[in-house]
Amino acid sequence: MDKLQQYLQHHAEELDVDVPTPEVWQQIQQRMASPQKPLARIRRLPQVLRYAAAACVLGFAVVGAWHVWQTAQPSALAVNHHLVPGKAAPKPTATIAEKTQTHPTPTPQLTETALAGVKKMAATPRKQPAASHAVTVLQSINQSFTQVINLQRARVNTMPLLAENPSYFADFKVAFAQMDNDEKVIKKEIAQAGTLTNDLLDRLITVYQQKLAMLKQLQNEINKTNSRYKQGRPTAENATTYFLNI
Amino acid sequence: MAVGTKIIARGFQPFTQLVLLIAAQHYLENAQHIPTALLHQAQMGDTSAMQLLYQQYSKAMFNICIRMTGNHADAEDVLQEAFVQAFTNLRQLNNVQAFGGWLKRIVVNACIKHSKKNVYWQEWEDETHEMLLANEEEAWWLQIDLALVHQQIKALPNGCRQVFNLFVLENYSHKDIAGLLGISEGTSKSQYHRAKQLLKQNIMQQLQHHG
C-alpha cells in the first residue's frame, strides 16, 4: 500500500463532500412502488412437494423413453429384415410369435408342427415379397436423399454468377449428369436382383453423397468467384448476372 | 463547605460511574438495534424504513459514484440503480449487520458496469511506472484540502479515474481491477500511475491559480 493510498483511506470520510439531490430518493421510491418490480416474496415449496414434483418429472421421462423405445423397436426389426437378406429368415418367425403372444386368441398356442411350417415358409425363397421390400426401402432412401439434393440444387440455381458465365461451371454439370447415370444403373441392378443387397445400397448411397458433395463444392466455387469479383469493385450493380441450371 | 462537597462527590463517584456505564451500554445496544430493526422492516417492504436506510447510506455511496463516474447526473443514475437493486434483493441478505458492505459492493459493481459501458479502454502498458512508484516522491498531499482532492479525483480522465478509485479508495488489487474492468494488470498499474501524476499536476495548478 503506497502512502497516498494510505492517507486517502485514512481520510476517506472527509472526501465525501457531495450530496445527492432529493429527486434520487423520489425516483427510487417510484421504482420500488411500480407494479413491474414488486418486492418479490420468495415462496418455497415444502420439501415433500419438491420431491413429488421431481418424481413426477422422472416418471414422465421414463414413460416417454419407454414409449420411444417401443415405437422404435419394430421399425428397427423391419430395417434389419429388409437390409440383411441373410438374417431375414428368423425374423418373421419372431414377429409371428410376438404377435401371437401379444394378441391372445381362442386358438391354441403354436405347436411344433405349426412352428416348423412357419420356418419352412421363411426358408423358402419368396421373390415377390422380397422385391416389394426392396422397392419400399429404395423408395424411402431415394426420397430422403432426393429431397436434400434438390434443396441444395435449388440453392445453387438461385445463386447469381457475377464473375463467370455458366459455361465456366460446365464440368460440374457433366459430372452431375454422369452421377445421374450411375444412379440409374444401380437402380436397374436392384430391380434385376429383386433384392437390395448391402453392396448395392452402399453404391447407391455413395452416388448420393457424391452428388451432395459436388453441389456443395459448386456452391463454394461460386461464392469464391463472386467474392473475388466483389473485392475489386465497391458495388456489383453493373455486373452481368447469370444463373446456373443444374 | 467546599471540602464537604468534594467528599460527597467522591462518595458518589462510583455510583455515578455505574449509572453512566449502564446508560452508555443501553445507548450502544439501541444504536446497534436501530439498523437491524430498520433492515428487518425494510426487508418486509416498509418504505419508511428504506428511506431511513437511504438517508443513512446515500451520501457515502453517492460519493463513491461521483468519484467513479466523474459527473453528478451519472452518479445519481448509478446510485438510483444500485439502491433499487439493493432494496429489491434485500431479502437475500441473511446477515443484516453486513448491510453496509453489501450495499457498497452493489454500488461499486454498478459503477463498474457503468464504466464498462461508457469507457473505451486503451491497453497501455508502461513498465516505467514500477520504477517511478518505487522512487516515491515526497508526500505532497499532506497539506492539501481534501475537498480539493475529491474535486480533482472527479476531474480525472475516464479510465484512470476508475482505476484510481478502485485501487486507492475501494482497496481492490490491480489483479481484481483488471478482471473487473476487462483490462490487463499492467494497464491497471499504468492507469493508476497516470492518475496519480495527473492528480498532483492538477492540484498544483489549482493551488497556483487560486493561491
* Matching residue, cell 479502454: B121
Residue B28 burial by Cβ neighbours in a 10 Å radius (0-12, 13-18, 19+): exposed
| Interchain proximity B76–A7, CB inside 8 Å | no
Let me know how long chain A is: 246
pLDDT tens digits, residue range B8-57? 445 556 666 666 666 655 554 454 555 788 888 888 888 888 999 999 99
Partner B contacted by A26 (CB < 8 A)? no
Give the Cα separation of B191 and B209 in Å (integer).
Answer: 26
Candidates B58, B65, B83: best to mutate against A (most CBs of A within 10 A) is: B83
pLDDT over 50 at B3, yes or no: no
CB atoms within 10 A of CB A214: 18
Grid cell 445519481 is found at B76
Are B171 and A4 a contacting pair at CB < 8 A? no
ipTM comes to 0.73
Domains, chain B, ranges and CATH?
Answer: 2-118 (1.10.1740.10), 128-210 (1.10.10.10)
Q: Is the per-residue pLDDT at A169 higher than 70?
A: yes
B206 shares contact with chain A (CB less than 8 Å): no
pLDDT of res. A108: 41
Interface probe for A, chosen from B150, B151, B165 (most Cβ of A below 10 Å), is: B150
The per-residue pLDDT for range A185-234, each reduced to its tens digit, is 888 888 888 777 888 888 888 888 888 898 888 888 888 888 888 777 75
- Give the one of A21, A28, A40 whose C-beta lies nearest to B83's C-beta: A28
> What is the DSSP secondary structure assignment for residue A166, as one 8-state letter?
G
A161 by DSSP, 3-state: which?
Answer: strand
Residue-range domain boundaries for chain A: 47-101+109-123, 127-230
pLDDT band at B127 (very low <50, low <70, confident <90, very high): low
Contacts B66 to A, Cβ<8 Å? 18
* Test the A interface: residue of B63, B65, B92 with most A CBs within 10 Å: B63
The contacts of residue B92 (CB under 8 Å, 6+ apart) are none
Nearest to A17 among B50, B147, B167 (CB): B147
Three-state secondary structure string covering chain B: CHHHHHHHHHHHHHHHHHHHHHHHHHHHHHHHHHHHHHHHHHHCCCHHHHHHHHHHHHHHHHHHHHHHHCCHHHHHHHHHHHHHHHHHCHHHCCCHHHHHHHHHHHHHHHHHHHHHHHCCCCCCCCCHHHHHHHCCCCCHHHHCCHHHHHHHHHCCCCCHHHHHHHHHHCCCCHHHHHHHHCCCHHHHHHHHHHHHHHHHHHHHHHHHHHC
pLDDT at residue B133, rounded to an integer: 52
State whether B169 and A9 contact (CB < 8 Å).
yes
What residues form DSSP beta bridges with A161? A242
Q: Which residue has 445463386 as its cell numbers?
A: A159
Would you call A7 and B142 a contact, using CB atoms and an 8 Å cutoff?
Answer: yes
Q: Which of B172-176, B190-194, B206-210 has the lowest mean pLDDT?
A: B206-210
* Residue written as grid cell 421431481: A54
Please list every residue in chain B whose beta carbon sits closer than 8 Å to the beta carbon of residue A20.
58-59, 62, 75-76, 79
Q: Which of B206, B202, B193, B177 is nearest to B136 (CA)?
A: B193
Q: What is the mean pLDDT of residues B91-102?
A: 86
Average pLDDT, chain A: 73
